[in-house]
Structure 1
Amino acid sequence: MNTYGLLASLKLKSIHGTLPDKVHSIEQDSRKVKQNSLFICIRGFRSDGHAFYSEALKKGATIIVAEEKLAIDHTKHALVIVKDTAKALAILANKYYNYPSKNMTVFGVTGTNGKTTVTTLINQLLQKNNQQAALLGTNGMQLLNESLESNNTTCDVLTNQKLLHKAANLGIDHMVMEVSSHGLDQGRLRGIDFDVVTFTNLTQDHLDYHKTMEHYGNTKGLLFAQLGNNLTQEKNAILNRDDPWYEVYNCMTPYEVISYGIYKDADFRATNITYHVDRTSFTLLSPEGEFTVTTKLIGEFNVYNTIASIASVYARGVISVSDLVTSLSDMDCINGRMQKLEIDAPITIYIDYAHTPDAIEKAIASVYPFKQNRILFVVGTGGDRDESKRPFMAEKASVADYVVLTINDSRYEDTSSILRDMEKGMQHNNYVLIENRKSAIVHVIEESEPGDIIIIAGKGLEEYQIIEGKKQPHSDKKIAVEKCAIKYNLNV
């Protein structure tokens, strides 16, 4: 790309040295720098990109963008000094990739729980109704027949623009994105032109980062502010009418709000809900009339997720509610989200991602309608993350008949301290502490009896654990299936 055209987007800057005519890539990771790259120094939480400019120069960078003067030979390289490299990166990345989000409909989904389920449902609803859609979130990017891994729910600003550009070039006209509070607070979504933004719910999580629920909630609200204020564009906010933050977010956008819920009057409302072990049915009241909805997802929280996804797709005015409801009937459950394992055993096992007090409470509540014997619950939490929620997670888990407290990802924290924090919240003596997650799963299945329901929570479909900063292979599902086969003499 022409260097002068690219840098013209930045107003507050000083240039030292002679700029090359072309820039062949923009990089913020010095390890990815190639010949004629522009390297931008970003101050992160764990490292400062200004410390790696020399490495970038050795690899062929011809332009360094920084917030301070650096020891650079201006006869060979150019230094561009800006006020804020994080904001400069968003501006440059959008310019370099030709503002890809403007060429597609972009859905953004935020909230404490339900983001992965709602985005997956939106993506599937679009695809089943002949729309070219892609998904970017916790499980990486689902782009046509290609899957790309991601380390975060919300990618960094440069990666987001690269992926949006790639999707646009492949003919994708609908992009569905999970939006985390960290991503919003750190500006990873700057420059993305959202068309529909959806709010699921707000409950305690990430207070190690946000410190207060007020800051956490207001950070989520940045997504609604990012819709903009240009009323010549047709945009919508989809809000949970039953959540206390509804009124706050309703005031944050000038665009039309479409509400959904169960208990309060809403544009999309579920009534006459019936729960089964492998499905849920309800009557949907909508702007286009009443419909009977059947989904393979279970639990009240998944009723919310289902109607949120219907309302989100409806907002674009391309697919009728009737067609959306029809599409839902043959859609599979969401992997790792209250996913019932298909095993021929006298027990029922669900794999779930629940790792907040609210999600744990709802996971257990979702199986109570068809409880035959006991509910056994494996619950873990992560190290080096929000410590304040640990006892509350255990407190919510206490309503199960038997609880196994374990670890999700210890990272660098001592596992015994994590378990002690959780143990403080236990309300009964119906529990055991097992640090090793595999051993915890093996134990709960060994303790099971015919008619029991087991929920293994905290990891979902993740196939690794982070221990001492390193990813180690681990699959809750695989361990559960293998142990179940041994205990109940199954052929798997």
Structure 2
Amino acid sequence: MKILKDILYKVSIEAVKGSTDIAINSIDFDSRKISLNDVFVAIRGSVSDGHNFIEKAVNQGATAIVCEEFPEKIINGVTYIQVKNTNEALAFLANNFYDNPSTKLRLVGITGTNGKTTVASLLYQLFKKAGYKVGLLSTVKILVDNKEFKATHTTPDSLTINFYLNEMVNEGCEFCFMEVSSHGIDQKRTEALHFEGGVFTNLSHDHLDYHNSFAEYRDVKKAFFDDLPKTAFALTNVDDKNGNVMFQNTKARKLTYALKSYADYKAQILESQLTGLLLKINDNEVWVKLIGNFNAYNMLAIFGVAIELGMDKLEALRLLSELESVAGRFQFIISKSKITAIVDYAHTPDALENVLQTISEIRTKNEQLITVVGCGGDRDKTKRPIMAEVASRLSDKAILTSDNPRTEIPELIIEDMEKGVEPQNFKKTVSIVDRKQAIKTACVMANENDIILIAGKGHENYQEINGVRHDFDDLKIVTELLTQLNK
């Protein structure tokens, strides 16, 4: 049991009704999970408002309520705490409840549009190979050293973050690498955490269904660096025009990485093949198993973080060469008839263009490049025509299909995409609503040595239609189809 006044440390309180000198059992923002002596935090969400469930939480045993406005009905024996922002309050409450776990390990946050999962996951892999106990908070999964847990958000809620950080501390982890999304920053999920370092990968068109403009999206990312302490490091990609923007108000030590610009961590691509890259990093040659320019940037970010966290330079380079690609990030198989099928999470125009350009650099041009791509429902509609434009322009054939339609009508999503196809690319573009059928069509079209790119879902092993998740794994499906077609 904790004392309420102790877990309120650093919470910006506007008013209190009742005593804060009471024992509490747990904290939650889901009224359904509240039980005797719990604290209920009323969060205003996009779908529902937690303030509407205060009475329910009290009836289930909550002895303290944290809210932005007091309810009309005040119950004797229950403490009500008014704050300006319950998301921010939750972050401090969670941090205090779990005894500040982020101060007990070395936490590095990775933010940007593309590359977050790869950089965070491969940093975990690299430090594990170096013999450390390590934690990971990512889109793909949560790892507490060797224990794996399912991830539901890129950046989980504050309670979940602090719960797992505490588990990492208890497991003896020395490091944790964490994806930091714009939603997570905006909703104060990372507030109160102590970061030893922050990494900026890049910024491109994404999440404009949530943020009002690209400038707002950029400034939310920047806010993460604004809040880093002066004891931390800030490592940014200065080949991206927004790289230096992240530095503007940070108190952290400023470090840079780049392929084209002068930087603290600099790389040159000497060779690029389907089997990997030969890089020169700060005048040291290293072969890595990952592919493409975008992965050269990822490798640089990983190398920079490793050095800033005290790893020996030669040891870091050696371990870079051992890293294996992340699930759903440029994963490929080569079939019996030498058809290469690539599965990638590319779900933004910039990421899709990067992957297609990477394929173009390593292909002979004597083969077809067939791209299967869709766009998610209930998400940023403005990127749909751009995704189709990129796919149809940079592929020999493009198949527009469903991604996760969610609650939208798949045909209407595809219609939005089709608006971006330029007239000269009409003949090489086809629309097939059923994703499995679209992948099968690509497999039927493909001949010996051709390349199929299946983009958008990557590591996801489901397809969400009308709120229901169905088993769907792009890599598994394309492998089975090519086998069935005897290709």
TM above 0.5: yes
Does residue 238 of the first structure (1) align with residue 235 of the second (2)?
yes
Structure 2 gaps of 5+ residues are none
Question: What are the residue-to-residue correspondences of 1:202-241 with 2, within 5 Å?
Answer: 202-228=203-229, 231=230, 233=231, 235-241=232-238
Distance between the aligned counterparts of 2:81 and 2:389, measured in 1? Answer: 53
Does residue 120 of the first structure (1) align with residue 121 of the second (2)?
yes
Aligned to 2:264: 267
Q: Conserved in 2, the CA contact under 8 Å of 1:18 and 1:74?
A: no
Q: Taking structure 1 as the reference length, what is the TM-score of the superposition?
A: 0.94
Offset at residue 327 of structure 1 (A): 0.9
Distance between the aligned counterparts of 2:122 and 2:340, measured in 1? Answer: 24
Distance between the aligned counterparts of 2:78 and 2:431, measured in 1? Answer: 58
Distance between the aligned counterparts of 2:419 and 2:287, measured in 1? Answer: 40
* Worse-superposed segment, 250-259 or 30-39: 250-259
Does residue 256 of the first structure (1) align with residue 249 of the second (2)?
no
Q: Conserved in 1, the CA contact under 8 Å of 2:9 and 2:96?
A: no
Aligned to 2:412: 417
Q: Structure 1 370/11 Cα, relative in aligned 2: closer, same or farther at 3 Å?
A: closer
Aligned to 1:357: 349
Candidates 429, 432, 451, aligned match of 1:431: 429
Candidates 458, 463, 466, aligned match of 1:465: 463
Q: Aligned AA for 1:400?
A: S
Q: Structure 1 176/411 Cα, relative in aligned 2: closer, same or farther at 3 Å?
A: same
* Worse-superposed segment, 387-396 or 59-68: 59-68
Does residue 293 of the first structure (1) align with residue 290 of the second (2)?
no
Q: Aligned AA for 2:300?
A: I
Does residue 388 of the first structure (1) align with residue 385 of the second (2)?
no
Distance between the aligned counterparts of 1:206 and 1:479, measured in 2? Answer: 28
* Worse-superposed segment, 251-260 or 450-459: 251-260
Q: Conserved in 1, the CA contact under 8 Å of 2:209 and 2:379?
A: yes
Distance between the aligned counterparts of 1:325 and 1:149, measured in 2? Answer: 31
Distance between the aligned counterparts of 1:23 and 1:208, measured in 2? Answer: 38
Aligned to 1:338: 330
The 3-state SS of whatever aligns with 2:446 is: coil
The 3-state SS of whatever aligns with 2:322 is: coil
Structure 1 gaps of 5+ residues are none
1:166-186 Cα shifts (integer Å, max 9, x gaps): 211111121100011111111
Question: What are the residue-to-residue correspondences of 1:79-158 with 2, within 5 Å?
Answer: 79-158=80-159
Q: Conserved in 2, the CA contact under 8 Å of 1:18 and 1:75?
A: no
Distance between the aligned counterparts of 2:323 and 2:337, measured in 1? Answer: 24
Q: Conserved in 1, the CA contact under 8 Å of 2:88 and 2:187?
A: no
Aligned to 1:186: 187
Offset at residue 250 of structure 1 (A): 2.3
Distance between the aligned counterparts of 1:469 and 1:59, measured in 2? Answer: 28
* Worse-superposed segment, 217-226 or 29-38: 29-38
Aligned to 2:53: 52
Distance between the aligned counterparts of 1:209 and 1:174, measured in 2? Answer: 31
Offset at residue 342 of structure 1 (A): 5.6
Q: Structure 1 476/270 Cα, relative in aligned 2: closer, same or farther at 3 Å?
A: same
Distance between the aligned counterparts of 2:439 and 2:458, measured in 1? Answer: 13
Distance between the aligned counterparts of 2:93 and 2:455, measured in 1? Answer: 41
Distance between the aligned counterparts of 1:101 and 1:144, measured in 2? Answer: 15
Distance between the aligned counterparts of 2:101 and 2:202, measured in 1? Answer: 29
Aligned to 1:379: 373
Q: Aligned AA for 2:371?
A: F
Q: Structure 1 246/83 Cα, relative in aligned 2: closer, same or farther at 3 Å?
A: closer
Q: Conserved in 2, the CA contact under 8 Å of 1:72 and 1:79?
A: no
Q: Aligned AA for 2:228?
A: L
Distance between the aligned counterparts of 1:20 and 1:244, measured in 2? Answer: 51
Distance between the aligned counterparts of 1:24 and 1:59, measured in 2? Answer: 13
Aligned to 2:472: 474
Distance between the aligned counterparts of 2:19 and 2:382, measured in 1? Answer: 53
Aligned to 1:304: 297
Q: How many residues align?
A: 480
Distance between the aligned counterparts of 2:325 and 2:70, measured in 1? Answer: 54
Distance between the aligned counterparts of 2:12 and 2:483, measured in 1? Answer: 65
Distance between the aligned counterparts of 1:474 and 1:122, measured in 2? Answer: 28
Q: Conserved in 1, the CA contact under 8 Å of 2:158 and 2:190?
A: yes
The 3-state SS of whatever aligns with 1:325 is: helix
Query: RMSD of the TM alignment (CA)?
Result: 1.7
1:131-164 Cα shifts (integer Å, max 9, x gaps): 2211101013112222212221011122111111
Q: Aligned AA for 1:359?
A: A
1:239-260 Cα shifts (integer Å, max 9, x gaps): 1121101221122313222211
Q: Aligned AA for 2:260?
A: Y
Aligned to 2:44: 43
Distance between the aligned counterparts of 1:167 and 1:325, measured in 2? Answer: 26
Question: What are the residue-to-residue correspondences of 1:307-318 with 2, within 5 Å?
Answer: 307-317=300-310
Identity of aligned residues (%): 37
Q: Structure 1 14/263 Cα, relative in aligned 2: closer, same or farther at 3 Å?
A: closer
Distance between the aligned counterparts of 2:322 and 2:82, measured in 1? Answer: 55
Offset at residue 116 of structure 1 (A): 0.6
The 3-state SS of whatever aligns with 2:442 is: helix
Q: Conserved in 2, the CA contact under 8 Å of 1:17 and 1:74?
A: no
* Worse-superposed segment, 33-42 or 264-273: 264-273
Q: Conserved in 2, the CA contact under 8 Å of 1:28 and 1:42?
A: yes
The 3-state SS of whatever aligns with 2:117 is: helix
Distance between the aligned counterparts of 1:415 and 1:184, measured in 2? Answer: 31
Q: Aligned AA for 2:289?
A: K
Distance between the aligned counterparts of 1:266 and 1:279, measured in 2? Answer: 23
Distance between the aligned counterparts of 1:6 and 1:50, measured in 2? Answer: 21
Q: Aligned AA for 2:278?
A: S
Q: Conserved in 2, the CA contact under 8 Å of 1:19 and 1:77?
A: no
Offset at residue 127 of structure 1 (A): 1.1
Distance between the aligned counterparts of 1:20 and 1:219, measured in 2? Answer: 36
* Worse-superposed segment, 347-356 or 13-22: 13-22
Q: Taking structure 2 as the reference length, what is the TM-score of the superposition?
A: 0.95
Q: Conserved in 1, the CA contact under 8 Å of 2:124 and 2:134?
A: yes
The 3-state SS of whatever aligns with 1:337 is: coil
The 3-state SS of whatever aligns with 1:377 is: strand
Offset at residue 295 of structure 1 (A): 1.2
Q: Structure 1 326/75 Cα, relative in aligned 2: closer, same or farther at 3 Å?
A: same
1:55-83 Cα shifts (integer Å, max 9, x gaps): 32233222222222325563343323333
